[in-house]
Each structure stands twice: as C-alpha cells, then as structure tokens.
C-alpha cells in the first residue's frame, strides 16, 4: 500500500519527500551525535538547551539541499558524484555549527567533536537511505517481472561498467562473467563469478542465460566477430558491445564502414544509365524466363515487369527458389499475368506445353549450373543441364515458333579449361546451329562476366567471410576477372533480344579485368576493418591464397577470336566465331547423351575436347601461392 502510494507520486512530490527525509536526518544526526559523544550516555542538563542549533542548521540544510539539487536526483541515477556532494554538504553543516559556537551571546556552545560526529552521521544516513530505498524499489519491481539474464564475455573495464549499469536496469541483469584470462577465472568481480569460456555451453543452461554480450572492445573487431560466430550455437542471443571511445569518436578518429563504390569493384564506370531501354519490344508480349529462381533469372523477372509484358512465365526446378521469387515480385505485377511452372528444362513435353499454352513470344534461357567447382565434380549432371537442357528449350522454342530466344552464356565459354565453361560453349554452339535452321525464331546469346552479388560470385563469399572475421580466400594474387552489375547484365540481355538477327553472340565492353585480390582488399576496408599482412600484422582480417581450383583460369576472356562486329550501341559488341555444322552438332549430342546415360565421365570429357574449340580439360596454372 505504502509502496504503491510512493510510486504514484510525481517528480515534484518525490523531491519534497527526499527534502523532508534529509531534514529528518539532520535532526537525528544532531541528537545521536550528542548521545554518542556523552561519556555517561546520559543527557546532561544542558542537552535540550542545544536545540537552538537546529533553528539555524535546518534552514541552512534546506538551502544547501536546494542549491545542490540533492532532492532532485533520481534514485537509479544516484552515484558516487552525488555521494561526494552529500559529503560536501555535511562538511558545510559541521563548519556552520562550529561558527555558531563562536558567535557572542549564543550559549551553550557545542564541542567541535559533536558537530564532526553529526556531519558524519548525516552523511551516512542520507547516502544509506537512498541506497536502501533504491534496493527496495528494485526488489519490489523485480518481483513483478522476470529480467533476462546476461552473461558478460570480458571481465575488464568495459565488462565491469556494463555489470554496474545492469544493476539498475529493469529488463536485464548480469549473471556472470566469461574471460580468457586465467588469473581472473574463479574470482568474483562486483559479486559476479568469472568463468572460463570453455564451459560456456554448460553455463548457459545451468544459469538460464538469455543473452551473451561481448564486452571486449580492446580486441580487434575481427576477433570479436570470430568469437560471436563461435557462440552462435550456444542457444541464446549474442551481442557485441562497442567501446565508449568507438561510440563518441569523430569519423576522423574512428574507423567507419563505408559502402564500396560499384566503380571501384568494376574497375570502370557502371553503364546502367547509358544502356537504352527496351520497353517497346517487350510491352504486351508473353515472356518465359527459365531458371527464374536464380540470381540472374530473378533480376530478369524484376526488370521485365517494368516493361509491362502481358504475361510472364517463370520456370524453375527448385520449389523454394520459385516460391521465393514469386512472393517477391507478385506485389509489383501491375497488369502483367504471372505464372509459375515447377519443372526441369530437360522435360521436352513440359517445355513445349509451357510455350504453346502460354503463347510465349520471347524466351530468356537463364537456367544453368554455373558453380565451377561443383560442376567440375558433378560433370555429367552439369552437361545434362547446361547442354542437353539448353538444346531442349531452344528446340522447343523453334518448334513453337517463338519470336526470339536469348541464351545466358559466360566468359568462361571462351577457351574453357573447366567442365562448366566447356558446357556453356557447347550450349552456344547448339543454339547457333538451331539459328541456321530456324525459319522464324531469332536466336541470340549473351556472354556475361562475373555478375556482382550473384550466386557463385566471389562478392557474397567475401562478405560472408568478413562477417565471420576472415580470412578472405583468394585463389591466386594475380587472378583477374571481368565484372558487371546485375542491372548491366539484365539490360544487355534485353538489348540482345532486340538486336538478334540469328546466332549472334553479344558481349559488353567491360573495360579491363579486375584483380580479385584488389576487390577483397576494398571490401575489407569498406567494411571498416584493416587488412592484416606482413606490413600490418596487427590488422583485423587477412587474405590467404589457396591456389587455383581444377578447371579454373588465371584470366578470363570475352572473345574467342579478334573479329568483332558493331551493334546499334557502341558498348555492345557482336562476336564473329566459328560454328559447327548440323551433322557435327548431332554427333556431339549423340556422344554426350551416350556418355551421360552410361555415367562415363571420361567419354563426356573426350567429346567436349573433340568439339569445343581450345578446350583444355583441367589445364590450370600451377604457379600458385598455397
């Protein structure tokens, strides 16, 4: 009842209560001081005659309390500074009492020792009453709610400050410390036990820990990220507490993560703004995107919706990928009809049914296995999907007499050294063959460099490695790649569809290739970390070189030969390259089908070597840094 009454008071009313309490402590200290300094413990006859001191000390006390603002200090904010202020007030009271004893005509005078004891008693009563009141309030409040228990990783200064702050928090409470320092383990700091990190899983369960806070800002950010990653599986939240210096330092004094400019990663200026729109070609048409759940296919669907097609059909063999992209783009369809088809590009009946039942005008074939190491170790499935699947979709498009067919290819198709690259080049040859025998459908191919942010690209890999504290893995210090943005890739593909005359291979003039190690360095610095190497051993994140993987090239190319033709756009080039005859393509596909059906990887590789120009199986530069 009393507690409810006190907690219902407003700030002004609480201030008056604390002022009254302090004045009571002045009176009580005055009385107790005389008792404690009286040897006989019995009041002398002059005891009550000294009460005139209170007539002066009480108004002085009230004035000092008001000037110092002691009655306005919140309980949960009362600290050492306020206790020192109270001590100063107690000292002033004692001095005033001593001065009063020397004023003429005022008797009897109290001995200085009595006034000194009074000052000390007032200090003790005032400070302890506030501490007791705070603990009482916290006790009552905490009985009404359950606070989350926090384990503090780091028993240093920051950790101790956090533990002290949580003592007055209504939501969280400190349960214990973790620290790598053996000297601190099994000790107690501010009443909390310090444990070794080795027992963290047991402690989380035994102490009912809800959250772990890393309070070790003096360590490098990379180390903190690594520890946080290691603690992810303990069954509770993990947070990192920055140092107070990191929170208040200016941008010139603290490292601040800044986004890496796209031009810095591309090695050139992005071309999104200079690639023209293709709105008129696709508006009102029925479009099919294969591999719609992949990174390129999904972005293609997003961009196509802005061009206002009548119908957009999404085909993918991954249920989750197809569902995800449909959920994303379904809110921006406008008047476009969306249709999701779950199935394989190797199913001819399915593909023909999709094309004919939806009256498809243009096909964008983005479905492919493109992760180089995975395709290298799963060669037969890579060939089945990338070559035979492309043949299925392209032939179905020719039979259904669609207007245009655009294949997404790769710079790895040029003088390939990997199964994936050879499969993409063979897919180009298949499409070029069909282009020579098509009466209606116009076929085209687009060679992409590495698309920033796409699945299989080094950028997401590097970003994930940075989040986990590194190191960043680069195959070779001199390896280079061409890079393009997703918008550039999609714009190029859309333009290729408008430029296609039959069997064209389009490439984007992407300037000079970029060293992968330079991209890794820029991403580390852009994330706010410093690079750790021989010159800076105290840096945050290191770059390690693992050696080129089987089938991986040191440098990629965009053109097989030197002959290039122009297009209506100066930044888009048309490659002029050798093709295979209809009979050669038929023989190659027959050999591939036989190799795939018999699970003969050597036969499949031999077929690629025979028909793909300049294919060098597993030919990698062994001059690597391990």
Q: Which of 22-31, 264-273, 526-535 has the highest mean pLDDT?
A: 22-31
pLDDT tens figures, 374-428: 999 999 999 999 999 999 999 999 999 999 999 998 888 888 888 999 999 999 9
How many CA atoms lie within 13 Å of 96's alpha carbon, on the beta-carbon side?
19
Q: What is the pLDDT of residue 620?
A: 42
Euclidean distance between CA atoms 438 and 502, whole angstroms: 8
Radius of gyration for the chain, computed over Cα atoms and rounded to the nearest angstrom? 39
Instruction: Fill in the DSSP letter of residue 601.
Output: H
Instruction: State the residue for tokens 């000037």.
Output: 67
Residues 6+ apart with CB under 8 A from 253: none
pLDDT, mean of residues 166-193: 86
Task: Using alpha carbons, list the distances in angstroms from residue 456 to 84, 252, 368, 374, 472.
Answer: 63, 36, 12, 10, 15
What is the average pLDDT score of the chain? Answer: 80
Percent of the chain with pLDDT over 70: 81
pLDDT at 2: 47
Higher pLDDT, 427 or 491: 427
Ranking 249-258, 403-412, 514-523, 536-545 by mean pLDDT, the lowest is 249-258
The length of the chain is: 626
Q: What mean pLDDT is predicted for residues 114-128?
A: 83
More confident position, 220 or 465? 465
Residues near 246 by beta carbon (within 8 Å), at least 6 away in sequence: 217, 254
Instruction: Return the higher-pLDDT residue of 555 and 239.
Output: 239
111 has a pLDDT exceeding 80: no
Q: What is the pLDDT of residue 290?
A: 96
Average the pLDDT over each of 76-85, 91-100, 314-323 and give the range with the smallest value.
76-85
Give the separation between CA 169 and CA 165, rounded to whole angstroms.
Answer: 7
Percent of the chain scoring above 90 in pLDDT: 25
Structural tokens at position 327: 């959920």
Q: What is the mean pLDDT of residues 220-224?
A: 70
Task: With cut-offs at 50, 70 and 90, classify the pLDDT of residue 583.
Answer: very high
How buried is residue 349: exposed, middle or buried, by Cβ count under 10 Å (0-12/13-18/19+)? exposed
CB 486 within 8 A of CB 452: yes
How many CB atoms lie under 10 A from the CB of residue 261? Answer: 11
8 Å CB contact between 307 and 279: yes
Binning pLDDT at 50, 70 and 90, where does residue 119 land? confident
What structural domains and CATH numbers belong to the chain? 2-144 (no CATH), 148-248 (3.40.50.720), 266-611 (3.40.50.720)
Q: Are 458 and 450 in contact (CB under 8 A)?
A: yes
At 592 the pLDDT is 95
- Reported as a pLDDT band with limits 50, 70 and 90, residue 600 is very high
Q: Is pLDDT of 543 > 80?
A: yes
Question: Tokens 């099994």 map to which residue?
Answer: 186
For the chain, give the longest Cα–Cα distance. Answer: 131
Numbers of helices and strands, H then E, in the chain:
23, 22
pLDDT tens digit string along 19-31? Answer: 888 888 888 888 7
Residue identified by tokens 């973790």 is 178
pLDDT in tens, 31-73: 788 777 774 454 555 556 677 777 778 888 888 887 887 777 7
Binned at pLDDT 50, 70 and 90, residue 626 comes out as very low
Does position 621 have pLDDT exceeding 50, yes or no?
Answer: no
> Omega before 419 cis (within 30°)?
no
- Interhelix angle for 389-399 vs 419-436, to 10°? 20
Measured CA to CA, the distance from residue 68 to residue 309 in angstroms comes to 74
Cα–Cα distance for residue pair 510/59, rounded to 1 Å: 84
Number of Cβ within 10 Å of residue 569's Cβ equals: 19
Q: What does the pLDDT look like over 320-377, one tens digit per residue?
A: 999 999 998 887 777 899 999 999 999 999 999 999 999 999 999 999 998 888 999 9
Contact 361, 403 (CB under 8 A): yes
The model carries a pTM of 0.59
- The answer to whether 125 and 29 have CB atoms below 8 angstroms apart is yes
Does pLDDT of 227 surpass 50? yes
The answer to whether 229 and 468 have CB atoms below 8 angstroms apart is yes
262 pLDDT band, cuts 50/70/90, is low
Say yes or no to pLDDT of 270 above 70.
no
């Amino acid at each position: 009842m009393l507690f409810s009454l006190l907690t219902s008071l407003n700030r002004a009313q609480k201030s008056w209560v604390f002022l009254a309490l302090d004045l009571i402590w002045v009176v009580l200290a005055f009385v107790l001081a005389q008792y404690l300094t009286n040897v006989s413990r019995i009041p002398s006859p002059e005891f009550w005659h000294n009460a005139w001191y209170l007539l002066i000390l009480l108004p002085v006390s009230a004035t000092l309390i008001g000037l110092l603002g002691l009655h306005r200090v919140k309980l949960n904010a009362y600290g050492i500074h306020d206790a020192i202020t109270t001590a100063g007030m107690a000292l002033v009271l004692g001095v005033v009492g001593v001065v009063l004893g020397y004023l003429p005509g005022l008797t009897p005078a109290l001995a200085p020792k009595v006034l000194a004891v009074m000052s000390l008693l007032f200090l003790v009563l005032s400070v302890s009453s506030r501490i007791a009141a705070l603990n009482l309030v916290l006790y009552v409040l905490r009985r009404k709610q359950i606070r989350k228990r926090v384990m503090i990783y780091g028993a240093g200064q920051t950790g101790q400050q956090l533990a002290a702050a949580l003592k007055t928090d209504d939501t969280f409470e400190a349960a214990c410390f973790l620290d790598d320092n053996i000297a601190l383990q099994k000790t107690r700091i501010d009443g909390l036990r310090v444990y070794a990190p080795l027992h963290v899983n047991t402690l989380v369960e035994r102490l009912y820990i809800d959250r772990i806070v890393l309070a070790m800002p003096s360590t490098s950010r990379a180390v903190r990220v690594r520890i946080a990653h290691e603690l992810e599986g303990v069954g509770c939240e993990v947070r990192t507490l920055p140092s107070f210096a990191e929170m208040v330092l200016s941008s010139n004094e603290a490292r601040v993560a800044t986004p890496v400019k796209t031009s810095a990663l591309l090695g050139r200026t992005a071309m999104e703004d200079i690639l023209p729109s293709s709105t008129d070609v696709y508006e009102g048409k029925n479009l099919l995107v294969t591999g719609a759940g992949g990174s390129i296919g999904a972005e293609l669907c997003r961009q196509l919706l802005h061009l206002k097609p009548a119908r957009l059909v999404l085909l993918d063999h991954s249920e989750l990928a197809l569902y995800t992209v449909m959920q994303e783009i379904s809110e921006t369809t406008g008047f476009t009809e969306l249709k999701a088809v779950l199935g394989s590009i190797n199913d001819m009946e399915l593909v023909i049914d999709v094309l004919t039942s939806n009256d498809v005008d243009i096909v964008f074939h983005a479905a492919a296995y493109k992760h180089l190491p995975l395709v290298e170790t799963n060669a037969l499935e890579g060939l089945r999907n990338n070559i035979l699947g492309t043949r299925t979709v392209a032939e179905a498009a020719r039979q259904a007499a669609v207007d245009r067919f655009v294949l997404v290819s790769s710079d790895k198709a040029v003088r390939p050294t990997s199964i994936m690259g050879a499969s993409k080049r063979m897919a180009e040859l298949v499409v070029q063959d069909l282009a020579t025998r098509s009466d209606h459908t116009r076929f085209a191919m687009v060679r992409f460099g590495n698309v920033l942010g796409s699945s299989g690209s080094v950028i997401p890999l590097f970003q994930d490695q940075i989040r986990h504290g590194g190191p960043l893995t680069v195959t070779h210090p001199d390896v280079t790649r061409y890079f393009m943005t997703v918008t550039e890739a999609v714009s190029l593909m859309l333009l290729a569809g408008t430029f296609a005359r039959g069997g064209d291979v389009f490439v984007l003039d992407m300037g000079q290739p970029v060293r992968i190690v330079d991209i890794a360095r820029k991403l580390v610095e852009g994330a706010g970390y410093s690079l750790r190497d021989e010159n800076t051993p105290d840096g945050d994140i290191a770059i390690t070189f693992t050696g080129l993987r089987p089938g991986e090239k040191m440098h990629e190319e965009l053109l097989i030969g030197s002959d290039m033709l122009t297009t209506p756009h100066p930044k888009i080039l048309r490659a002029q390259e050798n093709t295979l005859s209809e009979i050669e393509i038929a023989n190659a596909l027959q050999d591939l089908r036989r190799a795939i059906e018999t699970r003969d990887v050597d036969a499949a590789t031999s077929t690629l070597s025979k028909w793909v120009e300049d294919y060098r199986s597993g030919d990698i530069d062994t001059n690597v840094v391990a």
